[in-house]
Structure 1
Amino acid sequence: MDERERAEELAAAYEARLAADRDGRRAKGAFYTPPELVSWVLDRAVPPGARRVLDPACGTGHFLVAAARIVGVAGVFGSDLDAEAVAIARQRLAAEDPSVPVAQIERQVRVADGLTAWTGETFDAVVGNPPFLGQLKRGTAAAGARAHGLGAYTDTSAVFLHRSLDLVADGGTVALVQPLSVLAARDAAKVRTAVAGRGRVGELWVSEGAEFAGAAVRTCVPVVRVGEPGGQTEWGRLAAPHFGIPEVEMPRGTGVLGDLAACTADFRDQYYGLVPHVRDGGDGAPLVTTGLLEPGACEWGMRPTRFARRSYAAPVVDVAGLRAADARLGAWADARLVPKVVVAGQGRVIEAAADEHGAWLPSVPVVSVVPHDPADVWRVLAVLLAPPVVADAAARYLGAGLVPGSVKVSARQIAALPLPADETAWREGAALARAALLEELAGVMSAAYGCADPAVARWWLDRARRT
């Protein structure tokens, strides 16, 4: 066995040991990268003539070894907080080219925090698979995010992406593995904005499933071309074709749903305040959970649902008891017991139903859309069921939902949904929404938005029927 084979065997044994220690691996956020993904990244990230390539969280050196075969061992640099992994990476590089002094490799590959180790240096490409550590799990990582001017809940991998923008000059490339949530997560917004200010995402790799053994998270790799114009912050649109989401062009200048209605999400206070006043069946206001909502329909009383860890056949709220026990919650209930449209937290499409008579109370995370004119309740529902609206939201906010490809929209995002340009078709769509004729509604509301492609309506109908 030669030196290269021994070094590769050592790396494989270390990673197998780490994989067996699930808690330790999760604490480090360390999931090693498949060779085919390393090749995909380097093929796109290392430009012709590149001389210096950095992996700021190099682990045992998968990216470094592959990059060394392109630019030479003297041209690769790396860092990691795991001293054992760094030692293995150094050994692998030394085996690749024994002519490079060991002392030089030790200077190039450091035991250090990649977020701070390379200040003042510039590289042609920054590549790698930085740790995924949600900030709720690790306070020190949250402090690191804040140190870079980012929100405390920004994932560590996105902090690495943000930091790497300062380590390449115009013409260079940054390509780091990220959780799919980076495409739309609110806490990654500053990172996307920073990328748009420095360059553009030229290509995007999206995993077909959970790419890394032992990790359930879906991943992506935005390939950032630093210095190129045309950057955008809506990265979900780049990933939409991977999920079969059709491209649509929305009308401009038609107004937004917030012009017609107030869109409100409730909070934990309301959720927990309701608990002692909910019972199964009898008099009271039906409690509508997100799982009871379908496109254009509410299945309250037709199937069981869960609330506060209990199963109910037909949950109702004792509103009189609620008012007597808590005047503030009573006022909240009165504000919700009005004609409205209720929207599920997420689904394969936007799942919304009209409460024409104001009889239902929403359960968190159901969003209430209360039209300024109660007569507009069906017009509001028609907008939320319109296939072009759903396709546009699915692309724009891709990655925000717990299930990849699902449509998750907040109250603020619902308020920003565009209104249709064709008023006549919109009125017809509202009548079809009231009659629950979804197939006809799909075609009419597509026309209301000027969408002539029947594939968009078919896409929506297929997803709506599978909710």
Structure 2
Amino acid sequence: MDERRRTEELAHAYEQRLAADDRDGRRARGAFYTPPDLVAWVLDRALEPGTTRVLDPACGTGHFLVAAARRLGVRAVHGSDLDAEAVRIARLRLAAEDPSVPAADIERQVRVADGLTAWEGERFDAVVGNPPFLGQLRRRTATAGPSAHGLGAYTDTSAVFLHRALDLVRPGGAVALVQPLSVLAARDATRVREAVADAGAVTEMWVSERPVFAGTPVRTCVPVVRLGATGGPGPDDWGRLAAPYFGIPPVDLRRVGSSLSRLGELATCTADFRDQYYGLVPFVGENDDTKDGEGTPLVTSGLIEPGACEWGRRRTRFAGQEYAAPVVDVAALAAADPRLAAWARSRLVPKILVAGQGRVIEAVADEQGAWLPSVPVVSVLPHDPADLWRLLAVLLAPPVVAHAAARYLGTGLSPGSVKVSARQLADLPLPVDAAAWAEGAELARRGEVAEVGRLMTVAYAADPADGVLDWWLNRVAQRPGRR
């Protein structure tokens, strides 16, 4: 018992030293201490009767290995890490669990190696652990990036481990690796989610509502993948398993839709880029400084409310400067940069502007085509201007907001925010009840936002008992003022 305690203290001291020695915080973010209750949750689900081989491919000082060894025996566990000192401590901890296991055997089972390339040709009953997150690839693994594993260049390191683990588990086995919440919907993790669907199914999900790892604000989850299983969420629906943790009501819009089934059939949804953002900087000033008020209003995300624009009523920031009423000198812009001027003309049309993210989908109609959007505002350009208010009603619809909040959970700055890209806006389903939709559009024109929510809940055939309207109204009411 004394030797166990000594090695536990050694592991704790090493992790504390890593965090203290790394002044810029990068190492602290990589050397996470996994709470014992989370380790137990993972092992409860990953280890089935008959499990004899378990792998932690980025084992650090061995928290998962030791906990698994206490259930299965030291000979059942395997691990790897490029941190030689961490591996040494993990071996000492396992030796303390069962001194009868020769040190040479433990050295073969727990290796100083890259978990993304080690263990080739071997199969395990379960792969578990807490792989490094967010840019820790160079410290904890080999220098080869995600592209070396057939994934996008910006795929998070932890998701690369999840992808690799699918090839290391026998049919019927389990993979349960801690992931950042962004794995649920991030575009760069799409191939990983698709690979999971090809290999099996996510059968359970652990989600942290708050950060649980010291030294990082990242919220995390653990998708439990069973190889060969069926019936799990599709690659675009992992967020639905996590939605209940954040109070998002269940809404399934895949079962609704009219003959024009997607918003993109009525409008072009487009996001602008840094070229437009930085190109505008020399031409932006205060409205009071322009001659005869001739400037064109510049609308930032912080000025967009559900169904309303706060330009001139709320201060905002653009390019690091605060403005009371920012405007663009379009005439000067046209003289200086014809290409940027052409972009401005393409945006000065009737449209809907959608904020980058918010507690709901925050959208407002620009009926006169008088405003220019600031990145990351998304422009929704109707093919027929007569559809402007119908499109706004769709974007304000509580079922649509709940659908987006669940499906794209984890992509915003916080789990409470709804972040929808231009492509995702275009993919939103249209309502089934045309009469309620038309009435909702008229209410949107009049600015009666709460009534729009009520009518559009009916338009999507959502059950009021599900609470989606109350959830939406509460989030609209709780929106904090933004700068």
- When the two structures are superposed, what TM-score results if normalisation uses the length of structure 2? 0.94
Verify the 8 A CA contact 2:351 2:382 in the aligned structure 1: yes
Task: State the 1:12 CA deviation.
Answer: 1.4
Match status 1:397 vs 2:408: yes
Which is further off, 138-147 or 318-327?
A: 138-147
Partner of 1:370: 381
Distance 2:262 2:146 in 1: 34
Matches within 5 A, 1:264-413: 264-281=270-287, 282-413=293-424
**Amino acid aligned to 1:465:** A
Q: Which of 247, 266, 273 is 1:260 aligned to?
A: 266
Distance 2:353 2:241 in 1: 30
Task: State the 1:137 CA deviation.
Answer: 8.7
Partner of 2:250: 247
After superposition, the Cα gap between the structure-2 partners of 1:245 and 1:217, relative to the gap in structure 1 and judged at 3 Å, is: same
After superposition, the Cα gap between the structure-2 partners of 1:441 and 1:313, relative to the gap in structure 1 and judged at 3 Å, is: same
* Structure 2 SS opposite 1:143: coil
After superposition, the Cα gap between the structure-2 partners of 1:138 and 1:70, relative to the gap in structure 1 and judged at 3 Å, is: closer
* Structure 1 SS opposite 2:154: coil
Verify the 8 A CA contact 1:154 1:187 in the aligned structure 2: yes
**Amino acid aligned to 1:21:** D
Matches within 5 A, 1:90-109: 90-109=91-110
After superposition, the Cα gap between the structure-2 partners of 1:127 and 1:348, relative to the gap in structure 1 and judged at 3 Å, is: same
Verify the 8 A CA contact 1:203 1:222 in the aligned structure 2: yes
After superposition, the Cα gap between the structure-2 partners of 1:134 and 1:322, relative to the gap in structure 1 and judged at 3 Å, is: same
CA RMSD of aligned residues (A): 1.7
Distance 1:136 1:448 in 2: 48
After superposition, the Cα gap between the structure-2 partners of 1:345 and 1:25, relative to the gap in structure 1 and judged at 3 Å, is: closer
Distance 2:220 2:172 in 1: 25
* 1:251-293 deviation digits (Å, cap 9, x = unpaired): 0454111111111111111111111111111321100000111
After superposition, the Cα gap between the structure-2 partners of 1:335 and 1:397, relative to the gap in structure 1 and judged at 3 Å, is: same
Task: State the 1:140 CA deviation.
Answer: 8.4
Verify the 8 A CA contact 2:46 2:224 in the aligned structure 1: yes
After superposition, the Cα gap between the structure-2 partners of 1:157 and 1:23, relative to the gap in structure 1 and judged at 3 Å, is: farther
* 1:132-188 deviation digits (Å, cap 9, x = unpaired): 133899898773311110011111100000000001111100000000000011100
Task: State the 1:440 CA deviation.
Answer: 1.3
Distance 1:445 1:135 in 2: 45
Distance 1:146 1:248 in 2: 36
Q: Which of 436, 445, 451 is 2:462 aligned to?
A: 451
Partner of 1:62: 63
Q: Which 5+ residue runs of structure 1 have no aligned equivalent? A: none
After superposition, the Cα gap between the structure-2 partners of 1:49 and 1:248, relative to the gap in structure 1 and judged at 3 Å, is: same
Q: Percent identity?
A: 73
Distance 2:168 2:73 in 1: 20
After superposition, the Cα gap between the structure-2 partners of 1:84 and 1:403, relative to the gap in structure 1 and judged at 3 Å, is: same
Q: Which of 441, 454, 469 is 1:430 aligned to?
A: 441
Runs of 4+ in 1 over 4 A off after TM superposition: 135-142
* Structure 2 SS opposite 1:375: helix
Task: State the 1:319 CA deviation.
Answer: 0.8
Q: Which 5+ residue runs of structure 2 have no aligned equivalent? A: 288-292
After superposition, the Cα gap between the structure-2 partners of 1:138 and 1:311, relative to the gap in structure 1 and judged at 3 Å, is: farther
Verify the 8 A CA contact 1:30 1:132 in the aligned structure 2: no
Partner of 2:290: none
Verify the 8 A CA contact 1:344 1:351 in the aligned structure 2: yes
**Amino acid aligned to 1:372:** H
Verify the 8 A CA contact 1:73 1:97 in the aligned structure 2: yes
After superposition, the Cα gap between the structure-2 partners of 1:310 and 1:130, relative to the gap in structure 1 and judged at 3 Å, is: same
**Amino acid aligned to 1:464:** V
Matches within 5 A, 1:17-36: 17-23=17-23, 26-27=26-27, 29-36=30-37
Q: How many residues align?
A: 467
Distance 1:12 1:172 in 2: 31
After superposition, the Cα gap between the structure-2 partners of 1:451 and 1:141, relative to the gap in structure 1 and judged at 3 Å, is: farther
